[in-house]
């Protein structure tokens, strides 16, 4: 059995047994490897640890149960967790929201938003108490488009238009692109693999560009360029998490949520503004 077959077998076993919240030792034993070798092999091939995969599968199931209005205790127990406390910790870690907020589609979550004109057009920013949860490019003064974009993620959240509060956040994001400040905190929902990709994007210096293959290697998942590209495309806060710094291996600019021309403009602006290395 080669390494790929071992990982394929491990993933199939985890998908069948995740409700048991298996230990690394149990997962390794299922495919006949030592714990340390299994952990290294799995992370190299899958890009995440075995434990993270179990957490993601658990959170995915729990999220569906919560949206279906299943009680917290029942959701926790049906997801293989000991109780609501474990469920709360898991959902905050994986989704950045409490079980109650997920169940209510954001009801009880207070978001402030603002629309700002910047070097790359009009930019929408929405913030929760935990950080920036949405950043997107919109048509000038398009309130309907703004409402639709926020409602798509948090349909029941309480929205307050407060550009005077989000302006400082927007200015700090631009300063981070120039290498003059650290970016503000992001509060985004994503799988563990997506979070790993987004964290790696934040480590790319201003004015630098890398390929999808190089990004895959940076997270310990060489050969996972396509999966990395999908995670880059799912970035809910472009500019803040600088997905514009990733190009195809050929040097082509590739796709961008704000459009290919906007991506080119951002890169040129950033290279002109960023400090020389």
> How many C-beta neighbours within 10 Å does residue 225 have?
18
Tell me which H or E stretch contains 114: strand 110-118
Task: Please tell me the number of Cα atoms within 13 Å of 8 on its side-chain side.
Answer: 5
DSSP 238-253: BTTB-GGGEE-TTS--
Phi/psi of residue 222, nearest 5 degrees:
-60, 140
Tell me the chain's radius of gyration from C-alpha atoms: 20
The answer to whether the beta carbons of residues 103 and 111 sit under 8 Å apart is no
Please choose, from the candidates 174, 115, 116, the residue with its C-alpha nearest in 3D space to the C-alpha of residue 147.
115
Partners of 112 in the β-ladder? 127, 160
* Active-site residue flag, 243: yes
Catalytic residue among 243, 247, 266, 267: 243
In this structure, what token pair is assigned to residue 47? 């890009």
Task: Please tell me the number of Cα atoms within 13 Å of 69 on its side-chain side.
Answer: 0
**Reduced to 3 states, what is the DSSP secondary structure of residue 24?**
helix
| Vertex 220 angle, CA 222 and 58, to 5° | 110
As annotated, the active-site residues are 243
């Amino acid at each position: 059995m080669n390494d790929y077959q071992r990982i394929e077998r491990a993933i199939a076993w985890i998908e069948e047994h995740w409700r048991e919240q298996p230990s690394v030792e149990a997962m390794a034993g299922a495919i006949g490897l030592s714990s340390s070798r299994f952990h290294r092999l799995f992370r190299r091939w899958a890009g995440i640890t075995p434990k993270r995969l179990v957490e993601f599968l658990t959170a995915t199931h729990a999220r569906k149960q919560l949206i279906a209005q299943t009680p917290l205790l029942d959701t926790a127990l049906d997801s293989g967790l000991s109780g609501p406390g474990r469920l709360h910790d898991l959902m905050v870690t994986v989704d950045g929201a409490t079980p109650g907020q997920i169940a209510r589609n954001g009801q009880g979550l207070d978001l402030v938003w603002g629309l700002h004109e910047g070097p790359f057009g009009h930019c929408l920013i929405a913030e929760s108490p935990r950080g920036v949860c949405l950043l997107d490019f919109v048509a000038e003064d398009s309130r309907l488009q703004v409402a639709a974009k926020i409602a798509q993620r948090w349909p029941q959240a309480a929205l307050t238009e407060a550009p005077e509060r989000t302006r400082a956040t927007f200015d700090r994001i631009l300063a981070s692109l120039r290498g003059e400040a650290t970016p503000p905190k992001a509060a985004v929902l994503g799988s563990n693999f997506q979070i790993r990709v987004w964290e790696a994007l934040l480590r790319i210096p201003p004015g630098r560009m890398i390929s999808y293959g190089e990004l895959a290697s940076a997270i310990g998942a060489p050969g996972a360029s396509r999966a990395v590209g999908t995670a880059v495309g799912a970035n809910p806060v472009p500019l803040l998490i600088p997905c514009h710094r990733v190009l195809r291996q050929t040097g082509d600019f590739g796709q961008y949520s704000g459009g290919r021309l906007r991506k080119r403009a951002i890169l040129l602006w950033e290279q002109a503004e960023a400090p020389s290395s």
